[in-house]
Structure 1
């Protein structure tokens, strides 16, 4: 076991499995939507829409004409207002909800002279229609809250899924055979790593920079070989300038030369400075790590695919012995005990002393059961409160 934490599962501060607040929020949000939709259904969805549309047009007319159509103001405005307002009410279907509220407002406004209090009174007459508008607004707010609650619950469900995976993985590691001969995997992997690092470094020091940088550029087509892509200006420089014939260490050395001295070594001193010098950190750090097999090693199918991709790149610099060693590493995945040895290696490397203590006490299994129950409860609540 290790004192360094490489896996979070089982540490203090684990995910709280209590989802009661989220479940309650989901159900309350769903109930709020159902309640307001029931109120709307009592009147009829289409009928409410017609009534609210008429109410909004009526209040717009009241707001637009209140100043110009009152008192001894603009007579033409007064005529237009009455034509539009009274016509709006006359055109309403007989079955529109709260039609009597519109008729009361129309009767109030059907007079020779209008005053501000008539407009206020008409707004009061239309209050039943305003309440219908309030139903639509309540429904929009209730639906928005339901969407937000479901979104938060879905995020929490994802967290719980991840926690279940972490804890289940930790339980599996806790059951590993710590006496298993993991060196059967470790020794070939270590031998390959040592060899490929040494040969890559030699190649980097001696080969033309354009050849070396072409490897990480080509690796962009190999998703399991995680080289950082070369900066575009560096790659363009080594491909298009004779300076690319020099090894990377030499190019970096040249960047420290004065302009007059540099002219003796490269054709375009300015291009070297603007393309190479500014990317010194990338060039210095470029190494074989993306070609190395990690320890503990990945799952068998991943290691096979990754080894095949790496082998496709090794012929640029590696010896046949190094390639053969990597093939041996790849072939380890066909051993019947590969999964057992890999699990043992992971247990030795990743399980902390604290996690081991919690495994032995049964605390990890207890938390796993609680998280699974919470996950099931939250998933059920999401199903029950599905949006229409």
Structure 2
């Protein structure tokens, strides 16, 4: 238990959150100072011009395709003519056009054009910086929120560990274990007999019916398997017989069933499911669940076992349900958990006070991180 991530990184995460928020605010302030509308207009035209350069530079320079060269100059002229008169840094774009309107272009001409565009590039960079810092801050917040949830889980684990450390290890847990084990053994045997003697059709119908009981977690049978046992005469035979048939050769199988191929297909594909089908989902775990969980689980088990098991098994399920009403149930359950789950290292840490100190440090770190998230805008 309590092996989840500790609080050691919380101080660094808080520092990152605060610096990330400041960076995002500073970047937004620079955008607002220049005017977001003006920056957006410049950035859009800057990006359009970069796309023109990317499209034409290689073929329009040197001894490239003259037709492409003329096309590029025409595109440049249309680009500049289409610029708004009040566009910030319009003169930079016009200067680029002047550089490009030559008989022959070289790589140095494009380098000169890009240098002339540096004021527009700086404006576009302000928006990129704003978006990048905002994205980083949002990711930091997501990481911090996830960290709070992790710390909540660790706190719950440590609290449970502390509670087990306070448990009475000499408590008479057999008062819970004996009736639970008696029920588990009885229901396991009863289901084994049911599976071995009842028709496959009845067994699978029972398993399908347990879907209405969410705490009885049987894996539902494959659809092709249930279809086969419902529609073929061999579905009235027990599951062990069907598994035995599936191992027969085709010629031998023909003496036992009408449609050997259908059996081979349906049962052969579901052999693992059928062999593993047992009463495990009908048993109660040890250490047992909380009193509330045991009450609802046992209530479902009483209804489910009543569909196939002898009366004495159902009576044992009722006895298990009554355990949840014991005044000392929580004490006995905690003692059972402590005996089953505490290892030597955890016992030593509990005795030394290390677990309690870890719990207090984790709580403090969780509260500090949550407070920081509340204080900083999302």
User: Which residue of the partner structure matches residue 290 of structure 2?
Assistant: 299
User: Which residue of the partner structure matches residue 127 of structure 1?
Assistant: 118
Q: How much does 1:82 deviate? A: 6.1
User: Which residue of the partner structure matches residue 262 of structure 1?
Assistant: 253
Deviations 1:248-287 (CA, angstroms, capped at 9, x unpaired)? 1122222233333322322222222222134333222211
Write out aligned runs for 1:1-388 (5 A): 8-9=1-2, 15-19=5-9, 20-61=11-52, 77=71, 80-81=74-75, 83-89=77-83, 91-93=84-86, 96-102=87-93, 104-105=95-96, 108=98, 120-387=111-378
Measured on the aligned residues, the alpha-carbon RMSD in Å equals 2.9
Partner of 2:192, secondary structure, is helix
Q: How much does 1:171 deviate? A: 0.5
Is 1:69–1:77's contact at 8 Å kept on the other side of the alignment? no
Q: How much does 1:364 deviate? A: 0.5
Question: CA separation in 2, counterparts of 1:58 and 1:285?
Answer: 68
Is 2:302–2:314's contact at 8 Å kept on the other side of the alignment? yes
Q: How much does 1:378 deviate? A: 2.5
Q: How much does 1:79 deviate? A: 7.5
TM-score, length-scaled by structure 1: 0.85
Question: CA separation in 1, counterparts of 2:224 and 2:103?
Answer: 81
Partner of 2:221, secondary structure, is coil
Question: CA separation in 1, counterparts of 2:61 and 2:247?
Answer: 85
Change (3 A) 1:16 1:69: closer
Is 1:201–1:287's contact at 8 Å kept on the other side of the alignment? yes
Q: How much does 1:33 deviate? A: 1.6
Alignment size in residue pairs:
373
Is 1:314–1:323's contact at 8 Å kept on the other side of the alignment? yes
Deviations 1:196-239 (CA, angstroms, capped at 9, x unpaired)? 11211111111101111222222223221111222222222211
Is 2:204–2:226's contact at 8 Å kept on the other side of the alignment? yes
By relative contact order (CA 8 Å, sep 6+), the higher-ranking structure is: 1
**Runs of 5+ in structure 1 lacking a partner?**
1-7
Q: How much does 1:127 deviate? A: 1.2
